[in-house]
């Protein structure tokens, strides 16, 4: 792994640790909107409709709505900050 991937991994762990205190490990869509800093609920809903939300969303049995893992959101933000591709970083950064 390159230094940038190590930096992204370290930052993702720090973000996950600090954000998990407030949000827990599973994010509702409204929490994800805040964490990903969408400017408005309308912009966020458009991203969901267009399927361009940058982190995987999933449903849970007997629960209404969709959810995301805080780990994925933290990794995405760290990758954006460091400048490495999110999809490669999630695989471990073996591709460079």
The structural domains of the chain, with segments of one domain joined by +, span 3-89
- pLDDT recorded at residue 90: 60
Q: How do strand 67-69 and strand 26-28 relate by DSSP bridges?
A: antiparallel
Q: How far apart (Å, rounded) are the C-alpha atoms in residues 25 and 32?
A: 11
Residue 67: which H helix or E strand, with range? strand 67-69
pLDDT at 95 over 50: no
Sign of torsion over alpha carbons 4, 87, 38, 59: negative
pLDDT at 96 over 50: no
pTM: 0.84
């Amino acid at each position: 792994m390159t230094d940038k991937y190590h930096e992204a991994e370290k930052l993702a762990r720090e973000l996950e640790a600090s954000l998990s205190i407030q949000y827990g490990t599973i994010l509702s869509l409204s929490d994800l909107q805040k964490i990903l800093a969408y400017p408005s609920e309308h912009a966020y809903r458009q991203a969901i409709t267009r399927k361009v939300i940058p982190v995987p969303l999933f449903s849970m049995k007997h629960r209404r709505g969709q959810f995301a893992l805080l780990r994925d959101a933290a990794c995405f933000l760290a990758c954006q900050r460091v400048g490495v591709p999110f999809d490669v970083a999630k695989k471990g950064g073996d591709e460079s």
